[in-house]
C-alpha cells in the first residue's frame, strides 16, 4: 500500500513519505475570483479532491488548504467595467459561484479556505523578512513597489528546470523601478486610479500584495514552513509556483516536499481561452448532463493528461456511468428479499487500489470498476446471487472512493432531471407497446421494439416480482 505520485520538481515518480507519519498537509492554489468558473477550474479542483479522498482511504489524516485570491489586477479591472460594482462585491459574488460549482460535482469542502485579503499581515511579514535577508528591494522610483531580486537566489528556476538567462521578463508589474525585468512584485504600491479600499497600509507605503506572495504566506500560516504536497494547474508552474518556491526558500522555509500539477483542457482540439471565445463555463457544462456524470467525465482521464472536450464526450460519459448505475439497480432488485439484500462491508479490489496508488491512475481504476460491473451482470444472468452480491459491494466501494456512487444521497436530487424524465417517458411507452404486443401474441412486433431499443443503447430486463407479477426495467446498455 505504498502511494507514489509524480513530483514535477524532480520530474519523477516518488513514494509518498510524509513529514508526520499518518498525516498529509496539502496546499492547492485556488481560484482568482475575477469571473465565472469554467471547465478547467472544475477539472483542477476535482483532481485534488480525488487525491484527498484516496489518501484518506489509505489511512492518512489530510489537512487540505485551498485559497481564494480575492484581490488582483484582473478583479479590479473587471469591477471597473461592471457598472460600478465594488471589487470586493464582485469577488465575493464570483467566489459563491465557484463554491456552488464545486459542490455540484461533489468536491469536498477544504479543511481551510483562506482569502488573500484576510492574510495581508502575514504577507507583509514575509516581505519584510525577504528585505532583511537581502532578497528583495523597494523600488527607488517612489511607487512603493517591492520586488523579489531573482539574481540573489541561485535556485531560481529549479522547479521548472530553467536557467535565469533563458527566462522572459516578469509580466506582473511595470518594468520601471525594477533592477531586473525578471524580478517579480511582492508588494504593489497604490495607484491613483485604483479604489482606496483596494490598498493596505505598509512600511513601504499604501498598496496591496503581489499574487505570488499570497500563497507563500497562506500555506505557511495554515500548514507551516514545511508541508507535504503543493498542487495546482500545469499553467501555474511558471511563473507562479516558481516564484512561490523562490521566495519561500529564500526566507529559509523548507516549503513543499512534492509538487503536483494537473493537466489542462482543450476544446475541440484548441486551447481554451477567452481570446478564442471557446471557454466552457461550469454552468453550461452542468446544464448538459447530470452533475455526477460531469464528475465522472472529468475524473475519467488521468489527472496529468490533457482533456480534449467536446459535447459528445458527455454523451459517452453518460452511457458509461449508466452501465454502473444499471448494474447496481439490477442487483438491488435481484437481491431484494434474499439473504444478500443488505450491503456488506466495503470491498476495494486490490487491482483498483494498486491503480490509484500509482500516481492516482483513475483510468486504470475505472477499467477494474467496469470489469466488476460486467462480472456482476454475468453473475445475475447465471443466477449466482452470492457472487452478484460480492460484485455489488465491490462496485459500491469503488464508486464511493471516486465520489460517483449513484446511490449516494448527494446525487439523489439530480437523478430525476428533466432530460432523464423525458427519456423514461418515451422508453416506458415503447415498453407498454411491447407488453401489449406480447399479450396479443404478436411476438414479431414485440421483438422489433426490443431490437429498436437495443439499437439505441437501451437494454430491457423482464423480471417477476415475489407475487408473480411481471415487470420490465430498462437501462442504458
Q: Cα–Cα distance between 230 and 241 in angstroms, integer? A: 9
- Asked whether residue 421 carries a pLDDT value surpassing 70, the answer given is no
Residue 312 lies inside a defined structural domain of this protein: no
Q: Which residues pair with 462 in a beta bridge?
A: 472
Which residue, of 376, 399, 414, is where some domain finishes? 414
Q: Cα–Cα distance between 90 and 264 in angstroms, integer? A: 26
Same domain, 268 and 143: yes
Cis peptide before 461 (omega within 30 of 0): no
Residue 304 lies inside a defined structural domain of this protein: no
Same domain, 34 and 138: yes
Q: Cα–Cα distance between 99 and 20 in angstroms, integer? A: 30
Same domain, 249 and 333: no
Q: Cα–Cα distance between 472 and 477 in angstroms, integer? A: 15
pLDDT of residue 475: 67
Domain range for 154 is 4-288
Q: Cα–Cα distance between 146 and 186 in angstroms, integer? A: 5
**Residue 89, number of CB atoms within 10 A of its CB:** 12
Chain-centroid distance of CA 394 in Å reads 24
User: In the structure grid, which three cell numbers stand for residue 374, read together?
Assistant: 460486467
> How confident is the model over 320-365, as pLDDT tens digits?
999 999 999 999 999 998 998 888 888 899 999 999 999 999 999 9
pLDDT of residue 253: 97
pLDDT of residue 465: 45
Q: Out of 5-19, 152-166, 408-422, which region has the weakest mean confidence (pLDDT)?
A: 408-422
User: In the structure grid, which three cell numbers stand for residue 315, read together?
Assistant: 454523451
pLDDT of residue 466: 42
> How confident is the model over 135-174, as pLDDT tens digits?
999 999 888 999 999 999 999 999 999 999 888 777 776 6
Mean pLDDT of 299-312: 94
Mean pLDDT of 273-284: 83
**Is residue 188 left, alpha or beta, with left meaning phi > 0 and alpha meaning psi from -120 to 50?**
beta
Mean pLDDT of 237-255: 97
Rg for the chain, CA atoms, rounded: 27
Q: Cα–Cα distance between 405 and 40 in angstroms, integer? A: 23
> pTM score, two decimals?
0.86
pLDDT of residue 445: 81
Same domain, 56 and 196: yes
pLDDT of residue 50: 98
Residue with the larger pLDDT of the pair 470 and 49: 49
Residue 429: which pLDDT band, with cuts at 50, 70 and 90?
Answer: confident
Q: Cα–Cα distance between 259 and 8 in angstroms, integer? A: 5
- SS3 string, 107-148, reads CCCCCECCEHHHCHHHHHHHHHHHHHHCCEEECCCCCCCEEE
Q: Cα–Cα distance between 178 and 170 in angstroms, integer? A: 10
Q: What share of the chain is helix, strand, coil (3-state, %, to 5)?
A: 50, 15, 35
**Cβ pair 241, 259 in contact under 8 A:** yes
Q: Which residue has the cell 516581505?
A: 127
Residue 295 lies inside a defined structural domain of this protein: no
Residue 298 lies inside a defined structural domain of this protein: no
The CATH number that applies at residue 338 is 1.20.120
Q: Out of 7-11, 73-77, 98-102, which region has the weakest mean confidence (pLDDT)?
A: 73-77
Q: Out of 195-199, 368-372, 424-428, which region has the weakest mean confidence (pLDDT)?
A: 424-428
Task: State the total domains in the chain.
Answer: 3
Mean pLDDT of 267-273: 84
Same domain, 175 and 205: yes
Mean pLDDT of 404-412: 88
Same domain, 54 and 163: yes
Residue 302 lies inside a defined structural domain of this protein: no
Residue 23 lies inside a defined structural domain of this protein: yes
**Cβ pair 388, 335 in contact under 8 A:** yes
Alpha helices in 337-417 (DSSP H): 350-357, 362-381, 385-402, 409-412
Mean pLDDT of 357-383: 97
> How confident is the model over 42-85, as pLDDT tens digits?
999 999 999 999 999 999 999 999 999 999 999 999 888 766 78
Residue 61 lies inside a defined structural domain of this protein: yes
Q: Cα–Cα distance between 246 and 164 in angstroms, integer? A: 12
- Asked whether residue 370 carries a pLDDT value surpassing 80, the answer given is yes
Positive or negative, the Cα torsion across 374, 377, 378, 379?
positive
Identify the helix (H) or strand (E) that includes residue 46. helix 39-57
Q: Cα–Cα distance between 167 and 212 in angstroms, integer? A: 17
Q: Which residues contact 147 (CB under 8 A, 6 or more apart)?
A: 136, 137, 139, 173, 177, 178, 179, 183, 184, 185, 186
Mean pLDDT of 413-441: 71
pLDDT of residue 464: 59
Same domain, 120 and 145: yes
Same domain, 349 and 459: no
**Cβ pair 39, 285 in contact under 8 A:** yes
SS3 state at 211: helix
Same domain, 164 and 29: yes
Same domain, 350 and 460: no
Identify the helix (H) or strand (E) that includes residue 318. helix 311-335
Q: What is the DSSP letter of 236?
A: G
The CATH number that applies at residue 64 is 3.40.50.620
Same domain, 402 and 283: no
**Cβ pair 324, 395 in contact under 8 A:** yes
Residue 128 lies inside a defined structural domain of this protein: yes
Same domain, 179 and 272: yes
Residue 466 burial (C-beta neighbours within 10 Å; 0-12, 13-18, 19+): exposed
Alpha helices in 251-307 (DSSP H): 282-288, 291-300
Cis peptide before 239 (omega within 30 of 0): yes
On average, the pLDDT of the chain sits at 91
Q: Print burial letters for 233-265: b (CB count within 10 Å at least 16), e (below 16).
A: beebbbbbbbbbbbbbbbbebebbbbbbbbbbb
Residue 420: which pLDDT band, with cuts at 50, 70 and 90?
Answer: low
- Asked whether residue 91 carries a pLDDT value surpassing 70, the answer given is yes
pLDDT of residue 206: 96
Q: Cα–Cα distance between 391 and 370 in angstroms, integer? A: 11
Amino acid at each position: 500500500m505504498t502511494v507514489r505520485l509524480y513530483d514535477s520538481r524532480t520530474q519523477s515518480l516518488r513514494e509518498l513519505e510524509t513529514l508526520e507519519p499518518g498525516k498529509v498537509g496539502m496546499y492547492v492554489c485556488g481560484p482568482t475570483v475575477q469571473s465565472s468558473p469554467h471547465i478547467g477550474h472544475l477539472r483542477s479542483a476535482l483532481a485534488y479532491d480525488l487525491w484527498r479522498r484516496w489518501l484518506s482511504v489509505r489511512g492518512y489524516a489530510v489537512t487540505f488548504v485551498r485559497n481564494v485570491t480575492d484581490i488582483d489586477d484582473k478583479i479590479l479591472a473587471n469591477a471597473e467595467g461592471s457598472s460600478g460594482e465594488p471589487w470586493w462585491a464582485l469577488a465575493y459574488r464570483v467566489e459563491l459561484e465557484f463554491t456552488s460549482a464545486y459542490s455540484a460535482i461533489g468536491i469536498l469542502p477544504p479543511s481551510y479556505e483562506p482569502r488573500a485579503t484576510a492574510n495581508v499581515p502575514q504577507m507583509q511579514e514575509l516581505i519584510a523578512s525577504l528585505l532583511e535577508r537581502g532578497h528583495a528591494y523597494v523600488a527607488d522610483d517612489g511607487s512603493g513597489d517591492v520586488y523579489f531580486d531573482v539574481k540573489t537566489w541561485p535556485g531560481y528556476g529549479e522547479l521548472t528546470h530553467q536557467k535565469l538567462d533563458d527566462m522572459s521578463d516578469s509580466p506582473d508589474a511595470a518594468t520601471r523601478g525594477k533592477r531586473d525585468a525578471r524580478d517579480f512584485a511582492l508588494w504593489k504600491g497604490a495607484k491613483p486610479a485604483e479604489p482606496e479600499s483596494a490598498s493596505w497600509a505598509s512600511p513601504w507605503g499604501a498598496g496591496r500584495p503581489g499574487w505570488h506572495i499570497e500563497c507563500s504566506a497562506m500555506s505557511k500560516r495554515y500548514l507551516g514552513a514545511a508541508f507535504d504536497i503543493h498542487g495546482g494547474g500545469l499553467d501555474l508552474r511558471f511563473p507562479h509556483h516558481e516564484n512561490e518556491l523562490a521566495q519561500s526558500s529564500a526566507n529559509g522555509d523548507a516549503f513543499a516536499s512534492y509538487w503536483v500539477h494537473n493537466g489542462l483542457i482543450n476544446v475541440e482540439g484548441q486551447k481554451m481561452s477567452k481570446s478564442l471565445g471557446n471557454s466552457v463555463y461550469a454552468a453550461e457544462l452542468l446544464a448538459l448532463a447530470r452533475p455526477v456524470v460531469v464528475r465522472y467525465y472529468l475524473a475519467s482521464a488521468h489527472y496529468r493528461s490533457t482533456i480534449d472536450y467536446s459535447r459528445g464526450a458527455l454523451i459517452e460519459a453518460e452511457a458509461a456511468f449508466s452501465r454502473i448505475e444499471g448494474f447496481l439497480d439490477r442487483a438491488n432488485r435481484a437481491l431484494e428479499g434474499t439473504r444478500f439484500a443488505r450491503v456488506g462491508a466495503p470491498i476495494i479490489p486490490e487491482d483498483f487500489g494498486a491503480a490509484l496508488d500509482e500516481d492516482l491512475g483513475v483510468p486504470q481504476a475505472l477499467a477494474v470498476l467496469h470489469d466488476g460491473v460486467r462480472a456482476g451482470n454475468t453473475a445475475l444472468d447465471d443466477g449466482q446471487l452470492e457472487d452478484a452480491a460480492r460484485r455489488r459491494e465491490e462496485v459500491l466501494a469503488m464508486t464511493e472512493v471516486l465520489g460517483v456512487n449513484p446511490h449516494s444521497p448527494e446525487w439523489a436530487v439530480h437523478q430525476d432531471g428533466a432530460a432523464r424524465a423525458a427519456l423514461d417517458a418515451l422508453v416506458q411507452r415503447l415498453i407498454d407497446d411491447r407488453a401489449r404486443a406480447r399479450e396479443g401474441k404478436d411476438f414479431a412486433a414485440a421483438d422489433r421494439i426490443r431490437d429498436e431499443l437495443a439499437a439505441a443503447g437501451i437494454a430491457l430486463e423482464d423480471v417477476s416480482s415475489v407475487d408473480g407479477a411481471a415487470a420490465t426495467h430498462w437501462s442504458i446498455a
